[in-house]
Structure 1
Amino acid sequence: MFSFGRRSATCEFCNVSSEKGFNVIYEDSNFLAFTDIRPAARVHVQVVPRKHIESVHSLKKEDVALLRSMRAIGNKILDDHNVNFAMRKMGFHIPPFNSVNHLHLHVQALPYSPSYKAIKYPISRGHGSHKKGLSWFAEIVQAIEILENDRSINFLPC
């Protein structure tokens, strides 16, 4: 169904499991989700593909289905937590502003924790032909639209 890279023995997110200390809350044959070890919001989960994909820079137009599946999993998790749609935030940090080099979707229920700064997850709306402005974070909807237009996701407007 999806074209994935190979699993990496050294990638932390290629080796996610409960036995390795992760709080896995969802898994299927292609994806798994686990709670963030430093949650920034009331609910903060990472949704990752089982196979290694370096980052959003690696994604192409043919990966839109992958992102839609990740978004569906994120929405299911937020539905299970009774999170209102207005309080949902899902997106990706853009390298070099990511902490792990394995594609991971941040799934969050706002508001952010008082001790956490929302500045780490800025939304920058695009203008004109740009779906995203200058920002190190791309919302899932922005990422899908950028890829559908056969463009690359990066820090600059795209």
Structure 2
Amino acid sequence: MATEQQTTKPGCVFCNVTAERGFNIVWEDDHYVAFTDRSPAATHHVLLVPKKHIDNIKSLHQTDVALAERMAEIGHTVLDQLNVPQDLRRMGFVIPPFNSVNHLHLHILGLPFTSTVKSIMYRVSSGTDGNDKGFSWFGEVNQVIGILKKGGSVNVFAC
């Protein structure tokens, strides 16, 4: 279960996120912190991380559904504060080995994308044949929640 992992991991850039360390924090509570992405792929691009270190989306299991749901809820709160319409929202996780930081983080995007190249990284692939997600290195947050609820794990291949 991901929630049993250590509080922080030495050398992890997303552990102990603070304004003093150069992060532009836009939302925070006792368990999560959201900050603007340093290389935005969309008009609005915010990252949401749990303060407790969790390696990545592959670390999550069925027992972590509430964590993923809470992250989605916070993501919508952030997008509401930015006045992003529902049809211009995208939220999800980049799946290893394609992630840049090995600390679970939800990409909260207010579209449009800043370039076609960047839009490819966050492409949502619909599932078929009973799968919630198709082949892609991005798991949209509702796809991830559906996979976890079924007891599955998130990976690049259809799941």
TM-score, normalised via structure 2 length? 0.95
Cα deviation digits, residues 46-84 of structure 1 (max 9, x gap) = 000001000111000010100111111110010011111
| Superposition map of 1:3-152 within 5 A | 3-6=3-6, 7-114=8-115, 116-152=117-153
Q: Please report how far the alpha carbon of residue 122 of structure 1 lies from its aligned counterpart in structure 2 after TM superposition.
A: 1.2
Q: Is the 8 A contact 1:4 1:51 kept in 2?
A: no
Q: Secondary structure at the residue paired with 1:12?
A: coil
Q: Secondary structure at the residue paired with 1:14?
A: coil
**In structure 1, distance between residues paired with 2:14 and 2:118:** 24
Q: Secondary structure at the residue paired with 1:91?
A: strand
Number of matched residues?
A: 157
> Match of 2:96, as an amino acid?
P
> Match of 1:5, as an amino acid?
Q
Q: Is the 8 A contact 2:26 2:34 kept in 1?
A: yes
Cα deviation digits, residues 82-140 of structure 1 (max 9, x gap) = 11101000000000000000000000001101475311111100012100000000000
> Match of 2:30, as an amino acid?
S
- Alpha-carbon distance change, 4 to 30 in structure 1, aligned in 2, over 3 angstroms: farther
**In structure 2, distance between residues paired with 1:48 and 1:117:** 21
Q: Please report how far the alpha carbon of residue 5 of structure 1 lies from its aligned counterpart in structure 2 after TM superposition.
A: 1.6
Structure 1 unaligned residues grouped into runs of 5+: none
Report runs of 4+ in structure 1 exceeding 6 Å deviation. none
Q: Secondary structure at the residue paired with 1:117?
A: helix
Q: Tell me which moved more, 44-53 or 116-125.
A: 116-125
TM-score, normalised via structure 1 length? 0.96
Q: Secondary structure at the residue paired with 1:108?
A: strand
Q: Is the 8 A contact 2:34 2:49 kept in 1?
A: yes
**In structure 2, distance between residues paired with 1:16 and 1:133:** 32
**In structure 1, distance between residues paired with 2:22 and 2:4:** 25
